[in-house]
Amino acid sequence: MNDIDIGQLQVTFEQRGRRQAVLDGLNLRIGEGETFGLIGPSGCGKSTLLRVLAGVQREWHGRIRVFDHELVSGKRFRGDLRREVQMVFQDPFASLHPRHTVGRALGEPLRVNGVAHVETRIFEALDEVGLPRTMAARYPHQMSGGQRQRVAIARALLLRPRLLLLDEPTSALDMSVQAEILNLLATLKTAHRITVLLVSHDPNVIAHLCDRAALMHAGRVERLLARDALVAWSHAAPLL
């Protein structure tokens, strides 16, 4: 029961007046503690899958179990699930409120969940992602892209999630900053022993971080790549 099990997942959208299946009978199983990569051409449904697992895309058919929670289509996440599943988006600007300081962005989820010693926890969260504690007073526009993404990662980890969903977490950043954030993610996932589902277009990113990966095509898993195949594939594959 300690895995993520997705069966016959289907999501349809209205496109140009017709209903199209964006996820079309997708099957996937991810073990607890695994770092799992999702690869595939633009439009194949990677972000849609993450959005379903995050509870953001609530219209779907099929069967999804996230650890011991059976997800219910059409329903908001409640209880533990809201804390246990967290997502980091490609563009941290979009996920941080422009008029909230970093301290507030980090403090709110703690307060809402009744966590004690909020200030200490905010400082610890900043330490953990390598940001100075003075950043708590800053607004998103007063930080670099890499710093903003560190804040988004800190916030996702604040409530000790079991599943972390990462949708192209470094692709909006400069090359040198990308490497820093990838190393940070590698350190954090080991330290927290969380299950990670990572979408990236970059084979090297996937090979660097992931234990296994799925190649998606047209809303389904086309191929599963074990660790060895993943490394071989990253040497051979062009950027998707």
Ligand X SMILES: Nc1ncnc2c1ncn2[C@@H]1O[C@H](COP(=O)(O)OP(=O)(O)OP(=O)(O)O)[C@@H](O)[C@H]1O
Residues lying near Mg ion in the complex (CB under 5 A): 47
Nearer to ligand X, 41 or 132 (CB): 41
Nearer to Mg ion, 47 or 149 (CB): 47
Among 2, 8, 13, 226, binds ligand X (CB under 6 A): 13
Strand, coil or helix: 137: helix
Contact pick of 1, 15, 99, 228 for ligand X (by CB under 6 A): 15
Residue 220 near ligand X by CB under 6 A = no
Task: Choose from ligand X, Mg ion, none: what does 35 bind? Cβ within 5-8 Å by kind.
Answer: none
Specify the residue, 40 or 103, whose C-beta has the smaller distance to Mg ion. Answer: 40
Q: What DSSP string describes 5-72?
A: EEEEEEEEEEETTEEEEEEEEEEEEEETT-EEEEE--TTSSHHHHHHHHTTS----EEEEEETTEE--
**Cα–Cα dist 168/92, whole Å:** 11
* Nearer of residues 48 and 234 to ligand X, judged by Cβ: 48
Cα dihedral sign, 169-171-174-177: positive
Residues 182 and 174: beta-carbon distance below 8 Å: no
CA proximity to 210, closest of 193, 231, 191, 181: 231
Distance CA 208, CA 215 (A): 16
* Residue 15: contacted member of Mg ion, ligand X, none (CB under 5 to 8 Å, by partner type): ligand X
Q: Which is nearer to ligand X, 101 or 204 (CB)?
A: 204
Q: Which of 6, 9, 22, 143 binds ligand X (CB under 6 A)?
A: 22
Q: Is residue 234 at the binding interface for ligand X, with CB under 6 A as the rule? A: no
Residues 41-70 within binding reach of ligand X (CB under 6 A)? 42-48
CA dist., res. 108 & res. 92, Å (int): 17
**In the complex, what is the shortest distance from the CB of residue 12 to ligand X, in angstroms, rounded to a whole number?**
9
Q: By CB under 6 A, name the binding residues for ligand X.
A: 13, 15, 22, 42-48
